[in-house]
């Protein structure tokens, strides 16, 4: 099948990724809804705050333009209850001068003639003198808003004085004005009634009108310029945190790595995200303005639509770039909210500062302004402030499209030269910094180590190969701020195993002759992978790790049309081999050719990606996508022609028996189904090489057998590299097996060869005639012991072996390979005596692959322990403890020498591997005399004994070379 390449592939991948983003957003409806519609809630909040603010200033016309002020005509004395926070019982007024009859009459008239309301006598309190009133007011604060003090001078003159309660009392945000509310009505009433009394005309009157000045509206508290920037920033934070989360999740779950392994262009990846986020921000910006208009904000109604839209759209786009850049530094998606919140908090304060005028003022240096403008919330604040200013009063008309280039103060001639930034300048800043964020996002993404600790050099973009696509993909490992320790060269070690050596020589011959073997799918040429030790300098500590040789020089061929199985204990290096072959991790030295393409070349790797299918060790799937959608996505990324994608996906699903669950989201898949889908993804596009890293892990036996069938089927016409911990799987599926341990290939060959070379020998099961009693007289007892003893003796006499396992009905013997020549004759004779020994059946077979595996793993562990010189304490049954090297078999015990036994005693130590594969002592033999011909190999004591310095004196065993004496070594 011809796969797409170049621009058509870019477009196909772009469409597939856009569809994936659309599906993920659609499936994650709550988050998407919040991202798009959060503006509604913030606009609603702004509306409520605006209404609240208007209510709190409704008593004053200061914030309104007053052109034709209305007069307040002869205001009445208000009831005392209208005084803020008055205490009951309260009085509308108190007065002094009650000893005078005339004055009493005047006050009665004030009460009776109060416009609109007669004042009852219970609401007025009289005193004789001014001092009495003062004493009462002092003792009864807040019980009365005003006092009148009358004095009769003569028949035609009555003087009066007024007192008001001027304690500043605030209610719902504003202070009561005692002059207008209480003093002036009292004054008008007193003067009116005194005049009527003196003139003697009860209807004498005049009209007093109280009017404010006509005035322009005062600049007051503007919700849009003060609170709105923070609110709009908070609204943008939803999208911001989600964008970081989406990018980091794909990184964290290695989804991006899986797509890259399938051949995804880096440019497509970024482009698809930018376009998708661009669409979301476009919609949310339009919705924001529509909601603003719906709530009748002048800010949205009077300013030109395009002017306001561009502010919010460019700001949100800028925040997207900012989010992309920050996501490079974050490795856990759970941190996205924290980062979003932190940016909001910082933005909140810097916006406050911006609204107060810093640094967008002619007096502040340009440098400060440029630095300040790098933080997107500040640009939003300055733009929103300008737009709010332009619609602050009813007379303001807002900013038109053509007016976007004018500074807010330009209209004001006096302050015209003060303005430093127009809305148009904000646009330019937002566009320019968005571009910077996107470029930095790609740059940091390349130079900050990915989930596998791989990154590019900090100057990678200066390499011409990066731009031409030839060799510019060189990657490094380790953290940016880590000082890489020097990587020691991996010394060449000649393989001990003859098959491994032969394989190595075959590959080396190809390398020397420069030939590419046409029968070989993958040729591994001296692959070395060393994870460099790093020294990370933290704030208070320095963490140092030493280099680790994960692969120590692998030479092998994986033939075409064959399944090669890589086995090995945990940490052997299997996944590292796969990661090197798939370009996930760079190789330290050596190379590998996959169908002739080198994994070390960028061009080679891009060709390799189109011909391989990979099933990674852990399922790399989007929970919200279905099995079918996964296959469509990966098929598109791979470059399958669009008209074949659906059929290829259906075929792959059918192969792994997931057709019925094709439309079910993988969140609902069982572990086995997820694994099968991963296998299906690796099969899509008919790859020439399939790499399966533990494909059946976690599967039940039925699913496992089914996947084996799939693999058997897939073997036809292509090569498969399989790693597994299931020996049964390896035995059934493999054409060839390589067992690795500690980064080296330990053996290679087909299953039978490995078993015969590395197994302990032939397993022979002898089963006895069951229910022998049935053929014996009823009360006769069959002596199993005798039966068994005879057979045991027969094996002992002829092959010198004892049973490895014994039950009532069978005996199991392991016959070493060396005895192979004796076997034909031995079994013929045993069969002849079958009746005599009452043997029902004799079965003979090779030892299992598992045993081979365990032997190889144990051998590797022993070698490594010996090389590292690790010590462990052997506690003897005699009570003595000796320090011995891990893996030592025969150990002489110091202090057991005697005149009769001058060489002392030794024990044979039995080793086993614990769950983690490390060697541990399982027991030891009885003490025996060290044979005279045995040679001590080494003393376990290290040259400088730290324990001695601590005052303890450990006993060190003497390792004895088992080859130096005959009997013990058998």
Q: Which residues bind ligand ATP (CB under 6 A)?
A: 453, 531, 548, 550, 568, 570-576, 617
CB of 266 vs ligand ATP, minimal distance in Å: 21
Q: Which two tokens stand for residue 393?
A: 């009063």
Whose Cβ is closer to ligand ATP: residue 856's or residue 930's?
856
Nearest residue (CB) to ligand ATP, 632 versus 744: 744
Residue with the two structure tokens 């002619």: 362
| Among 596, 607, 589, 602, residue whose Cα is nearest residue 557 | 596
Least distance (Å) from ligand ATP to the CB of residue 604? 22
Least Cβ distance, residue 309 to ligand ATP (angstroms): 47
Among candidates 136, 125, 134, 138, which has minimal Cα distance to 98? Answer: 125
Strands ordered across the beta sheet of 810-815: 803-806, 810-815, 762-768, 839-846
The H or E element containing residue 708 is helix 701-714
Question: What are the tokens at 57?
Answer: 């200033």
Length of the chain: 970
| Nearer Cβ to ligand ATP (570/773) | 570
CB of 620 to ligand ATP, least distance (A): 15
Q: What is the residue-wise DSSP string for 911-957?
A: EEE-TTS-EEEEEE---EEPPTT--EEEES--SS-HHHHTT--PEEP
Question: Which of 568, 687 has the CB closer to ligand ATP?
Answer: 568
Question: Taking a C-beta distance cutoff of 8 angstroms, is the pair 36, 284 a contact?
Answer: yes
126 versus 579: smaller Cβ distance to ligand ATP: 579
Q: Please identify which residue in the block is written with the tokens 């009634």.
A: 193
Cα–Cα distance list, 41 to 191, 243, 291 (Å): 56, 20, 9
**Residue (of 108, 480, 42, 104) closest to 295 by Cα position:** 42
- Closer residue to ligand ATP, CB minimum distance, 422 or 726: 726
Question: What is the smallest separation between the CB atom of 915 and ligand ATP, expressed in angstroms?
Answer: 13
End-to-end CA distance of the chain: 60
3-state helix vs strand vs coil in the chain, percent to 5:
45, 20, 35
**Residue with Cβ nearer ligand ATP (532 or 611):** 532
Is the sign of the CA dihedral 122, 123, 124, 125 positive or negative? positive
CB of 737 to ligand ATP, least distance (A): 14
Q: Which is nearer to ligand ATP, 359 or 695 (CB)?
A: 695
Rounded to a whole number of angstroms, the minimum distance from the CB of residue 637 to ligand ATP is 25
User: Where in 752-862 does DSSP place strands (E)?
Assistant: 762-768, 803-806, 810-815, 839-846
**What contacts 348, CB < 8 A, 6 or more positions away?**
230, 233, 377
Residue 965, classified by CB atoms within 10 Å of its CB into exposed (0-12), middle (13-18) or buried (19+), is middle
Rounded to the nearest whole angstrom, what is the least distance from the CB of residue 452 to ligand ATP in the complex? 6
To ligand ATP, the closest distance from the beta carbon of 944 in angstroms equals: 29
Which C-beta is closer to ligand ATP: that of 575 or that of 582? 575
**DSSP letter string over 871-911?**
EEEEE-TTS-EEEEETT--EEEETT---SSSTT-EEEEEEE
How far apart are CB 503 and ligand ATP at their closest, in Å?
19
Least distance (Å) between residue 791 CB and ligand ATP:
41
State the residue number with the nearest CB to ligand ATP: 575
Pick the closer one to ligand ATP by CB: 477 or 510.
477
Compute the distance between CA of residue 734 and CA of residue 728 in angstroms, rounded to an integer. Answer: 10
**Radius of gyration over alpha carbons of the chain, in Å?**
47
User: By the 8 A CB rule, do 929 and 905 touch?
Assistant: yes
- Tokens representing 916 are 């983690």
Nearest to 798 by CA among 764, 846, 848, 835: 764
Nearer to ligand ATP, 230 or 576 (CB): 576
- What are the tokens at 712? 């058997």
Nearest residue (CB) to ligand ATP, 699 versus 884: 699
How far is residue 695's CA from residue 675's CA, in Å, rounded to a whole number?
6
Q: Closer CB to ligand ATP, residue 426 or residue 572? A: 572
Tokens at residue 656, please? 């792994």
Which of 656, 757, 758 is closest to 711 using CA atoms? 656
Q: What's the half-sphere exposure (Cβ side, CA atoms, 13 Å) at 382?
A: 28
Give whichever of 347 and 573 is closer to ligand ATP, judged by the CB atom.
Answer: 573
**Taking the complex as a whole, how short is the minimal distance between the CB of residue 735 and ligand ATP, in angstroms?**
21
In the numeric block, which tokens belong to residue 42? 């913030």
CB-CB contact of 388 with 231 (8 Å) = no
Cβ distance to ligand ATP smaller for residue 529 or 600: 529
Q: Which is nearer to ligand ATP, 75 or 568 (CB)?
A: 568
Burial of residue 46 (CB within 10 Å: 0-12, 13-18, 19+) is buried
Task: Give min distance, CB of 511 to ligand ATP, in A.
Answer: 24
Check residue 179 and report its DSSP letter: I
DSSP string, 275-293: HHHHHHHHHHHHHHHHHHH
Q: Sort residue 365 into left (φ over 0), alpha (ψ -120 to 50) or beta.
A: beta
Q: Cβ of residue 617: shortest distance to ligand ATP, in angstroms?
A: 6
- CB of residue 602 vs ligand ATP: minimum separation in angstroms? 22
Cα separation, 1 vs 4, whole angstroms: 10
To ligand ATP, the closest distance from the beta carbon of 224 in angstroms equals 52
How far apart are CB 463 and ligand ATP at their closest, in Å? 24
Least separation, in Å, of the C-beta of 422 and ligand ATP?
52
915 Cβ contact list (under 8 Å, min separation 6) = none
What is the bridge-based pairing of β-strands 689-693 and 719-723?
A: parallel
Question: For ligand ATP, which is the closer residue by CB, 533 or 761?
Answer: 533
Which residue's CB is nearer to ligand ATP, number 158 or number 524? 524
């Amino acid at each position: 099948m011809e796969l797409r390449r170049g621009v058509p592939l870019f477009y196909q991948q772009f469409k597939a990724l856009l569809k994936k983003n659309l599906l993920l957003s659609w499936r994650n409806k709550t988050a998407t809804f919040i991202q798009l519609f959060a503006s509604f809630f913030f606009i609603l909040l702004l509306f409520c705050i605006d209404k609240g603010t208007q209510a709190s200033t409704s008593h004053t016309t200061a914030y309104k333009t007053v052109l034709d002020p209305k007069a307040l005509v002869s205001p009445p004395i208000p009831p005392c209850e209208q005084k803020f926070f008055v205490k009951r019982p309260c009085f509308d007024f108190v007065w002094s001068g009650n000893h005078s009859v005339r004055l009493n009459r005047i006050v009665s008239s004030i009460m009776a003639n109060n416009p609109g309301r007669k004042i009852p006598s219970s609401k007025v309190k009289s005193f004789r003198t001014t001092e009495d009133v003062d004493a009462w007011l002092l003792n009864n604060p807040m019980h009365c808003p005003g006092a009148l003090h009358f004095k009769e001078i003569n028949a035609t003159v009555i003087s009066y004085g007024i007192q008001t309660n001027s304690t500043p009392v605030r209610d719902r945000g504003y202070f009561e004005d005692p002059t207008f509310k209480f003093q002036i009505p009292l004054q008008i009433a007193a003067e009116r009634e005194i005049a009527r009394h003196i003139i003697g005309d009860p209807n004498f009157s005049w009209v007093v009108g109280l009017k404010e000045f006509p005035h322009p509206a005062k600049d007051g508290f503007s919700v849009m310029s003060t609170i709105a920037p923070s609110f709009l920033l908070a609204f943008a934070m939803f999208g911001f945190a989600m964008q970081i989360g989406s990018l980091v999740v794909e990184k964290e779950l290695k989804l991006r790595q899986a797509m890259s392994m399938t051949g995804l262009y880096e440019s497509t990846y970024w482009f698809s995200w930018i376009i998708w986020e661009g669409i979301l921000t476009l919609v949310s910006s339009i919705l924001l303005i529509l909601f603003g208009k719906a709530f009748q904000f002048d800010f949205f109604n009077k300013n030109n639509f395009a002017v306001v839209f561009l502010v919010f759209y460019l700001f949100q786009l800028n925040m997207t770039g900012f989010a992309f850049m920050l996501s490079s530094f974050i490795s856990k998606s759970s941190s996205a909210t924290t980062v979003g919140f932190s940016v909001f908090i910082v933005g909140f304060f810097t916006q406050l500062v911006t609204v107060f005028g810093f640094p967008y003022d002619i007096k502040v240096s340009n440098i400060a302004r440029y630095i300040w403008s790098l933080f997107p919330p500040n640009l939003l604040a300055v733009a929103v402030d300008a737009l709010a200013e332009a619609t602050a009063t009813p007379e303001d008309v807002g900013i038109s499209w053509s007016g976007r280039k004018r500074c807010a103060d330009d209209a004001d001639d006096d302050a015209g030269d003060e303005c430093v930034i127009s809305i148009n300048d904000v646009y330019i800043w937002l566009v320019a910094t968005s571009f910077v964020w996107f470029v930095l996002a790609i740059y940091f993404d390349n130079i900050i180590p990915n989930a596998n600790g791989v990154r590019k050099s900090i100057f990678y973009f200066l390499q011409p190969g990066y731009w031409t696509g030839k060799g510019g993909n060189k990657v490094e490992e380790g953290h940016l701020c880590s000082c890489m320790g020097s990587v020691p060269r991996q010394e060449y070690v000649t393989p001990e195993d003859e098959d491994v050596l032969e394989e190595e020589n075959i590959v080396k011959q190809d390398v020397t002759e420069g030939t590419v073997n046409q029968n070989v799918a993958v040729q591994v040429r001296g692959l070395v992978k060393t994870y460099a030790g790093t020294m990370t300098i933290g704030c208070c500590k320095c963490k140092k790790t030493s280099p680790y040789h994960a692969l120590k020089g692998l030479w092998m061929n994986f033939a075409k049309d064959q399944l090669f199985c890589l086995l090995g204990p945990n940490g052997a290096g299997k996944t590292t081999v796969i990661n090197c072959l798939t370009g996930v991790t760079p190789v330290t030295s050596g190379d590998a050719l996959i169908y002739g393409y080198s994994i070390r070349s960028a061009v080679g790797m891009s060709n390799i990606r189109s011909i391989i299918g990979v099933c990674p060790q852990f399922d790399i799937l989007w929970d919200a996508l279905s099995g079918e959608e996964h296959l469509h996505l990966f098929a598109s990324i791979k470059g399958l022609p669009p008209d074949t994608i659906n059929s290829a996906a259906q075929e792959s699903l059918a192969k792994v028996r997931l057709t019925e669950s094709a439309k079910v989201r993988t969140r609902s898949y069982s572990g086995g189904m997820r694994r099968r889908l991963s296998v299906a993804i690796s099969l899509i596009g008919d790859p020439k090489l399939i790499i399966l890293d533990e494909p059946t892990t976690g599967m039940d036996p039925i699913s496992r057998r089914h996947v084996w069938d799939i693999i058997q089927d897939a073997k036809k016409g292509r090569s498969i590299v399989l790693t597994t911990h299931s020996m049964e799987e390896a035995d059934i599926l493999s054409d060839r097996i390589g067992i690795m341990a500690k980064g080296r290939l330990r053996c290679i060959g087909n299953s039978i060869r490995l078993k015969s070379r590395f197994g302990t020998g032939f397993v022979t099961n002898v089963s006895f005639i069951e229910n022998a009693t049935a053929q014996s007289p009823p009360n006769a007892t069959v002596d199993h012991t005798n039966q068994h003893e005879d057979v045991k003796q027969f094996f002992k006499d002829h092959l010198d072996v004892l049973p490895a396992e014994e039950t009532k009905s069978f005996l199991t013997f392991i016959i070493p390979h060396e005895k192979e020549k004796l076997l034909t004759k031995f079994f013929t004779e045993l069969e002849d005596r079958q009746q005599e020994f009452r043997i029902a059946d004799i079965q003979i077979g090779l030892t299992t692959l598992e045993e081979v595996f365990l032997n190889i793993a144990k051998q590797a562990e022993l070698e490594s322990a010996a090389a590292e010189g690790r010590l462990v304490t052997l506690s003897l049954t005699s009570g003595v403890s000796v320090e011995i090297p891990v893996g030592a078999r025969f150990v002489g015990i110091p202090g057991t020498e005697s005149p009769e036994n001058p060489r002392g005693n030794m024990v044979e130590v039995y080793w086993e591997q614990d769950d983690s594969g490390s060697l541990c002592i399982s027991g030891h033999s009885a003490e025996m005399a060290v044979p005279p011909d045995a040679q001590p190999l080494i003393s376990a004591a290290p040259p400088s004994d730290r324990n001695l310095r601590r005052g303890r004196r450990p006993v060190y065993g003497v390792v004895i070379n088992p080859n130096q004496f005959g009997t013990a070594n058998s």
